[in-house]
Amino acid sequence: MAKRGMAFFGLLAAMATTIVGAAPAQATPSGCSYYTTSKSASGYCSSGTGVFRIYTTCDIPLAPDVKKYGDWYRAGYGTSSGAYCPSNTRSVHNTGWNFA
């Protein structure tokens, strides 16, 4: 009986894979770079397709760190995303990108 049950679940898994199929590929910006100051991060993606935004973590004395996000922009020249921390921020760290 155990072998029959395993075969049944294997068949179900194969059917689910066939019905669902593979997800479509997502577009990804490229040529991305950023710079930081003690209170902000700004960056751009010069090519590729899709959209991007920058994020950074603000180190605020005597308070929990706060993550800030920039606005979403399409990849290409002339667009940049900025994330800005409160004025009492000591420094920024863990800066990175979100792509969609």
User: Going by C-beta distance under 8 Å and a sequence separation of 6 or more, which residues neighbour residue 9?
Assistant: none
Question: pTM here?
Answer: 0.71
pLDDT of residue 27: 73
Average pLDDT in the 9-31 region? Answer: 55
Cα separations (Å) of 30 from 11, 81, 99?
41, 14, 10
- Segment 47-97, tens digit of pLDDT: 999 999 999 999 999 999 999 999 999 999 889 999 999 999 999 999 999
Domains of the chain as residue ranges with CATH: 26-99 (2.60.40)
pLDDT of residue 24: 52
